[in-house]
Amino acid sequence: MIAVNRYVRDDEEPWALNLVVRVEKDQLPQHTDLLEAAARATVLLLNDERASTIWLDAIARWHDGRIRKLCRRARGAKWAATDELDHVELTAGTAVVRAFVPCAVDAQPEQLRRLQLAGTNFTDIAPPGLASTDLVVWLNPSIAMSSAKAAVQAAHAAQLVVERWKAARPLDVAAWLAHGAPLSVRSADEVLWKFLVETTDFHQQETFYVQVHDAGFTEIPAGSLTAIGLLVT
């Protein structure tokens, strides 16, 4: 079956979902916390009850296009100003992230347009522990990405896994969402990554598996396999 985009033509402007991380001078988020907050905030926005009502057209217009995401940073008054826009906010450890209802890239609200895109890069004080959730996003260990880029890849992988899961088991997803959409984001080692890419064991009824290939707008070549989302039920 050929999918038909209801809202998009090739000559139309792209839309984007903006993720904004709070970065105060004395309160920097850790890298892994940011990635998990971005992924969870995205999933919660797209599955919010408003996503099927007042946000429906905007999300559908974006989803039927290139599903582009942008990660920005804000502090102080600029962070406070974004509260006026439709969004979902998620805190994960040291990171606070807001996911905003998608809009046209060239017609973004001033509160988002003036926020910094470049230079969003953080570290972990200590290596993250083992993944402790059923849904895990694994990042390609051979591709160097800024925290902002990795956050976008993690968010996209989580979105795609949850879409497949929801289509098969909507009640399970509803219960998971009610608990705040717990998930883990980790960088795979080389051996694990090779296994994740090459094995066919994940293509089973009880498993939800996706690969994310980057569009190549920033940082890395188009088509790069950046992340794998995996949920084993």
Q: Using one digit for the tens of pLDDT, what is the confidence trace for 194-210?
A: 999 998 777 666 789 99
Amino acid identity of 197?
V
Q: Is residue 184 part of a domain?
A: yes
Query: CA quadruple 48, 63, 147, 213: dihedral positive or negative?
Result: positive
CB 36 within 8 A of CB 151: no
| 148 pLDDT higher than 90 | yes
Examine residue 179 and state whether it is found in any structural domain, yes or no: yes
Q: Decide if 123 is inside a domain.
A: no
- Report the pLDDT value the prediction gives residue 2, as an integer from 0 to 100: 25
Residue type, 148: A
Q: What percent of the chain has pLDDT over 90?
A: 79
Domain assignment of residue 154, yes or no: yes
Number of structural domains in the chain? 1
66-120 pLDDT tens trace: 889 999 999 999 999 999 999 999 999 999 999 999 999 999 999 999 998 866 7
Per-residue pLDDT band at 168 (split at 50, 70, 90): very high
DSSP state of 64: T
Q: How far apart are CA 198 and CA 202, in angstroms?
A: 10
204 in a structural domain:
yes
Determine the pLDDT at residue 186: 98
Residue 4 lies in a domain: no
Per-residue pLDDT, 11: 46
pLDDT of residue 104: 95
pLDDT exceeds cutoff 80 at 184: yes
The whole-number pLDDT of residue 12 equals: 67
CATH of the domain at 194: 3.40.1490.10
The pLDDT score that the predictor gives to residue 205 is 62
Domain ranges, residue 209 = 15-117+129-232
In a domain, 6, yes or no: no
Nearest-angstrom CA–CA distance, 118 and 116: 6
pLDDT for the residue numbered 204:
66
What are the beta bridge partners of residue 187?
A: 139
56 part of a folded domain: yes
pLDDT tens, residue by residue, 1-60: 222 233 344 446 789 999 999 999 988 999 999 999 999 999 999 999 999 999 999 999
Nearest by Cα to 12 from 105, 108, 101: 105
Token pair, residue 78, equals 């600029």
Angle between helices 170-178 and 147-168 (to 10 degrees): 140
The pLDDT value given to residue 161: 97
